[in-house]
A = this chain, B = another copy of it.
Amino acid sequence: MTSLMDVAQRAGVSRQTVSNVLNAPDRVASPTRERVEAAIAELGYRPNRSAQNLRSRRSHLLGLDLKPTGPEEVSPVLDRFVHALSEEAARVGYHVLVFPRADDAAVTHLPLHATRTVDGFVLVDTEAHDRRVEVLAKNDVPFVTFGRSGGGVAHDAVDVDGHVGGRLAATEALSRGARRPAFVTWPKGSLAGDARLAGFLEVCAEAGIPGEDITVLRRLHRVEDGVEAALTLLRGDPTIDAIVASCDLLAVGVLRAVRSLALRAGHDVRVIGFDDSPIAAHLDPPLTTVGQPVREVAQRVISTFLARLDDPEAPVRVELLEPHLVVRLT
């Protein structure tokens, strides 16, 4: 490998001059700079990134922790987010370092930052009172969350407006003639689920549907839970004509239950999911769902992160992006 010294010798200058050409070219007179640049080109010299990082005190790496997933688990939105984030990071000279999540961010996240392996983190799947948020904030580690965390710690976040999404889903169901809509969501305490539900209920109220006519069931986010919830709803009240689910996996279960009762999704019962995961388009019939602008989220996460690195004292920035309705056949 060509070294800084090789370049200095070829150009007949000191190592410091070569370093200045690389890091502070304004300080070097033009003829000298051109001679050094020619030597760099002739020798094919590439500065070692570790040496550059030592000088700049930045690694240009962004840490992203991934939850371990079993073979049958899916996190389609997050998988798309990983792709989008790596592309948006590359535009600004950053790369994404992925690592497995552990229970304690003090064990996994802090050492990666303390050793300057990464300049900070993007957190996904945030929960209310997320431990990672508390640990990183306390240790002044730069980070941005995709999704809000809702704890006592104010922090930079990019989120998709679940309330607007809930409104979109309800408006779609009612505009197709539904008058007895129901909602299946997660246990209380999920910020995303509760925002989606609130938007949904708001539109129903605006349409004059009494709150007591609307059944809300809370389940986990597995397909089986969707099946069971939909069977409970449709057997308990055959007039229910629309079921909105807080995620596509629950909606997959709802579709299965609808079919098992010999009803037709999109005709007898409107079914609307959330997230526009890839599975939604491939179901039979394809699922109507509320989509998230994943690429725009990635763009905003990167720009927010860079702004935070540049100014650790800047006010906290929370950006809310708009979801969109993807109308298919259900």
Contacts and interface: CB of A to CB of B under 8 A. Distances in A.
B50 A294 contact: no
A80 B71 contact: yes
Contacts of A208: none
Interface string A50-76: 111110000101000010110111101
Contacts of A74: 76, 278-279, 282
A80 B70 CA distance: 9
B115 A48 contact: yes
Contact of A86 (B53, B99, B276, B278): B99
Given A66-B83, A71-B80, A281-B72, A46 B111 contact: yes
Contacts of A267: none
Nearest to A248: B282
B69 A80 contact: yes
A282 B221 CA distance: 13
Output the residue of A111, A112, A282 with the most chain B CB within 10 A: A282
Copies in the complex: 2
Interface residues of A, number: 53
A48 B49 CA distance: 13
Contacts of A283: 283-284
A252 B282 contact: yes
A223 B281 CA distance: 10
A117 B252 CA distance: 42
Interface string A78-101: 011011001100100001111110
Nearest to A257: B284
A282 B284 contact: no
A180 interface: no
Given A71-B80, A281-B72, A284-B259, A98 B95 contact: yes
Contacts of A112: 95
A201 to B, nearest CB: 28
Contacts of A284: 252, 255-256, 259, 283-284
Nearest to A252: B282
A47 interface: yes
A210 to B, nearest CB: 34
A218 interface: no
Given A54-B54, A99-B95, A278-B73, A68 B48 contact: no
24 contacts: A48-B54, A49-B50, A50-B51, A50-B54, A51-B54, A54-B54, A66-B83, A68-B83, A69-B80, A69-B83, A71-B80, A71-B276, A71-B291, A74-B279, A79-B82, A82-B82, A87-B100, A95-B98, A95-B112, A95-B117, A97-B97, A252-B282, A252-B284, A283-B283
Interface of A: 46-54, 59, 61, 66, 68-69, 71-74, 76, 79-80, 82-83, 86-87, 90, 95-100, 111-112, 114-117, 223, 249, 252, 255-256, 259, 276, 278-279, 281-284, 291, 294
Shortest Cβ-Cβ A-B pairs, 7 listed: A49-B115, A74-B278, A79-B79, A50-B53, A50-B50, A87-B100, A46-B114
